[in-house]
Structure 1
Amino acid sequence: MHPTEFQNVKLLKEIAEFINEETEIEAMLLGALRKFLKGTNFVAGWIFFIDENGKHQLMVSENLPEGLKQNGCSHLKNGSCWCVSRYRDRELEKASNIIECKRIENILAARSGDNGGITHHATVPLQSGQERFGVVNVASPNTVTYSEGELALLESLAFQLGSAIKRIFLTKQEQEIALLQERNRLAKDLHDSVNQLLFSVALTARGGAEMAAQAEIKETFKEIQNLSQEALNEMRALIWQLRPVGLENGLLEAIKGYGEMLGLCVQSHISGVLNVPSHVEEALFRISQEALNNVRKHSGVHMAELFMNVSQTDVLLVIKDEGQGFIIDHSIQIPSMGLQSMIDRAKKAGGSVEWDSEIGRGTEILIRIPY
């Protein structure tokens, strides 16, 4: 075996060992890219994920020249280019030389930073079987055309990365299914045990209040009935949060159903086609649950309005009530744990939550999540 071939096999083995131990997509991609650049003549690299609509997302990058790193890698994150267009049009099937790179040409034309001698790059699609994920781009200074051996090595890297991406996706999917099954089991246990027990206590207290002759005893039974009914309502809300009944019929129906369970009338106003990924749908539902809980507990009203606008890039959800509102103390970062929970869920989905409230004029919660 030629020394170079031996080094390439050794490099691919080292990369395979690394990616097989990683469980997070970005860490796996970045670590593999670093090892590849260190073991080859390529100096810089970046990886795009490209969705089914052709929208690209910069996942990781390494050793970029200053011109490409400026403004948070804006030249890479924005606009179109040959490799993304060819990938989108299904014309990029193997590792290829890019004759013209629009992104590099832009930084040269704008004189917005040093290009590090990089004028061209090689690209290869990321895929596993028929499932496609994006592209890997690598480059070297003062190099226009990369050799067949370098392109073949790049294809081997892409094959490994594609298989690893698929493995991580499947693992996370299995974890989500296992979590859903555990939620369903816990919800069933709570419904069959605690929920039924609280219902029995409330029913018994009601009967005791009707039969008691003394006013003090009658009042005690009524208090027990009220407390057990409140606990029963909280338990039902918890079961809904564990197992959202109705989400299989759509996000809007699930939110309305949850509002009805809380004793709220939810009026909806929708614009755009509601067709978003399941993880965005669940995030919106969980945040809506918390928002409606706040309406029930703090607003003093029994009606809420829901406004939803779905664009090509994100979903804007507004939940509004005309209740008593609250004062936003800007010296306190987060007014309540409920709002903090909504912020955390939205942030996890890549979105944001804002709110506007005033005493006597109600509250608006604005949720925006990209997809």
Structure 2
Amino acid sequence: MYEEQTLRYKDLLILKTIAETLNRNHDMRLMLQSTLEKLLELTGLKTGWIFLADDEPIYHHAADHNLPAALARNDKEPLRGEACFCLRLYWRDSLNQAVNIIECERLHDTATQSLGDMNNLTHHATVPLTICGERFGLLNVGSPGKEHFSDEELALLEGVAYQIGTAVERTRLLEQKEKLAVDNIARYIVDYYNSTNEVTRHIWTINNLRELLLTVVLNIGTYFEWPTVAIAVHQGNRLMLRALYDNENARILNESRLHLEEGTSDIIHQAYREQSVCQSRGTPFAFAALQSSQNMYSIAIPLQKQQPLLENEPFGVLLIGRELSTFSELEIKILTTLADHISLAMERIRLYDEWQDLLLSEERNRLALDLHDSVNQKLFSLSLTAQGIKELLRDENPLVADGIGDIQKLSQETLSEMRTLIWQLRPYSAEKGMLVSLKEYASKIGIHVTLQMKDDVQFTEKVEKTLWRIGQEAINNVSKHARTNRATITIKSIEDQIQMSIIDHGCGFVLEQAETKLATLGISSMSERAAQVNGRLKINSTEGKGTIVTVMVPRLREN
């Protein structure tokens, strides 16, 4: 899985870099040339060329890089001659995805006629260039000795071709705007693509989901001058309204309550359920924050996780509302392209977070091993040495023996705390589950835990890991400060919340007099962990009666 995530993350970085390269040029030839060179550099492929094609038999050679001498001869005449097998497939509508070209006529004829050095280039991959379902050319890439491209490589090339198609269409429209006296509709289309480009340009540098959602709704609302933009994301078993732009203000939300009669649905849930673009006007929304926008012309566009060679996985909806009219077919095509960019950016952030978690887990494991192999062993040796010296000096010098005894006691306490720390550094085991893991941890540090779960509560992976870390810290506090070896952990559902409580009947403390003590109990770290899953932490303690640590997090239900 680690290698798969690494390869997927690398592919996303390539797509990000290609997008940045495409955005640097508005001249068609310069854009295609620089993008082809960057693609070959990032993938390690050696040569490539691009054809732009009209109706048969019209085509022209638009860009190339690092051609073999035989193809580069006579001002690249082999690329400007008669049509080849690739182009004939293209004109017959038989080339709809990236493919391996086994017998390329240009390569074969040039090699067999001994017209120059082909540098062992015998095969290439061909990818159709399309935008909104319309084809306009071919991308060909290859390397000396490479006879086959894997499905993953072809899927990546299709993603790059899709980006090139969007950029070429945008550039064509810009060229039309500069060279022709276009009418108002054409100008509006150009502005649409410009606004789309501005939105996508901002999102590729963001590595935080909240910031991404806020930036997307703000930029769409600002650049397109639309009054309402929202994003709903599927979490757990329901859609959550996570970001909203209205009244010229963007904000992050976490709204999940439905405000419709049972059995009814709004266009947001309809678009997610049917995985199709939906439009409406005057129909109510399921989210209270959108009620003021229900009289607008609204469009809901699914957001999908892009999975090469597999069916795309839905994970959210982009909603846009305006006052003037329904959205045209052309607008829907452009907005669907924009939604694909947003989906890709969200997936990149998800993979980035997983990458960070993997790195953190590796570092925790490394640190735990280092502590166990070095500090832990030395503390154990120190304790044994102190015990031996104390026994030797017990009769000869009792005062020194008592001092050595204090050293031994301190080293044993430190050793115990070190073992607790090493246990805390161990990664969370999702296979065992949170409650079993907490009970095991408590047992290791001498605390007997009673578990009580009153409902069949389902957690997301992130919430479960967060509750595990908070429970771990709370149990550790019981061991260190409560003067008891017993605790109770309860988990239950309260309306739209999940509540976990860690209860002890130890010595307790007076909250008003314990600001310094709270700092030593790790309260701030527990509160920060709760906030990361939109939860909150509460401490109740009574001197002589014990302490209750309560954490509340949102509960996710079915739509």
- Tell me whether the two structures share a fold, i.e. TM-score over 0.5: yes
Distance in 1 (alpha carbons) for counterparts of 2:493 and 2:294: 43
| Deviation (angstroms), 1:190 | 0.8
CA 222–295 in structure 1, closer or farther in 2 if over 3 Å, else same:
same
Distance in 2 (alpha carbons) for counterparts of 1:247 and 1:230: 31
Q: How many residues in Structure 1 have an aligned counterpart in Structure 2?
A: 358
Structure 1 equivalent of residue 473 of structure 2: 290
Which letter does structure 2 place at the counterpart of 1:236? R
Structure 1 equivalent of residue 553 of structure 2: 369
Higher RCO (C-alpha 8 Å, min separation 6): 1
**The one of 510, 515, 520 aligned to 1:327:** 510
1:138 and 2:320 matched: yes
Structure 1 equivalent of residue 434 of structure 2: 251
**The one of 471, 475, 483 aligned to 1:300:** 483
CA 105–246 in structure 1, closer or farther in 2 if over 3 Å, else same:
closer
Kept after mapping to 2: 8 A contact 1:271/1:309? yes
Kept after mapping to 1: 8 A contact 2:236/2:460? no
Which letter does structure 1 place at the counterpart of 2:447? L
Deviations 1:322-341 (A, max 9, x none): 11111121895984442233
1:33 and 2:234 matched: no
**The one of 339, 342, 347 aligned to 1:158:** 339
CA 148–304 in structure 1, closer or farther in 2 if over 3 Å, else same:
same
CA 337–350 in structure 1, closer or farther in 2 if over 3 Å, else same:
farther
Tell me the SS of whatever aligns to 1:326. Answer: coil
For structure 1, list consecutive stretches of 5 or more residues without a partner in the other structure: none
**The one of 258, 262, 275 aligned to 1:92:** 275
Structure 1 equivalent of residue 544 of structure 2: 360
Distance in 2 (alpha carbons) for counterparts of 1:157 and 1:52: 25
Kept after mapping to 1: 8 A contact 2:267/2:278? no
CA 350–38 in structure 1, closer or farther in 2 if over 3 Å, else same:
closer
| Deviation (angstroms), 1:104 | 9.4
Which letter does structure 1 place at the counterpart of 2:283? C
Which letter does structure 2 place at the counterpart of 1:315? I
Kept after mapping to 1: 8 A contact 2:305/2:343? yes
| Deviation (angstroms), 1:203 | 1.5
CA 369–43 in structure 1, closer or farther in 2 if over 3 Å, else same:
closer
> TM-score, with normalisation over the residues of structure 2?
0.58
Structure 1 equivalent of residue 246 of structure 2: 63
In terms of Rg, which structure is larger? Answer: 2
Distance in 2 (alpha carbons) for counterparts of 1:321 and 1:311: 22
Kept after mapping to 2: 8 A contact 1:49/1:58? yes
| Deviation (angstroms), 1:207 | 2.1
Distance in 1 (alpha carbons) for counterparts of 2:284 and 2:226: 20
Once the two structures are overlaid, the 10-residue window that deviates more, 99-108 or 188-197, is: 99-108
1:9 and 2:193 matched: yes
| Deviation (angstroms), 1:314 | 3.9
Which letter does structure 2 place at the counterpart of 1:169? R
Tell me the SS of whatever aligns to 1:103. Answer: coil
Structure 2 equivalent of residue 206 of structure 1: 387
Which letter does structure 1 place at the counterpart of 2:220? F
CA RMSD of aligned residues (A): 3.2
> TM-score, with normalisation over the residues of structure 1?
0.85
Kept after mapping to 2: 8 A contact 1:329/1:335? no
Once the two structures are overlaid, the 10-residue window that deviates more, 243-252 or 23-32, is: 243-252
**The one of 79, 91, 110 aligned to 2:259:** 79
User: How many percent identity over aligned positions?
Assistant: 29
Distance in 2 (alpha carbons) for counterparts of 1:171 and 1:256: 32
Which letter does structure 1 place at the counterpart of 2:418? M
Kept after mapping to 1: 8 A contact 2:535/2:551? yes
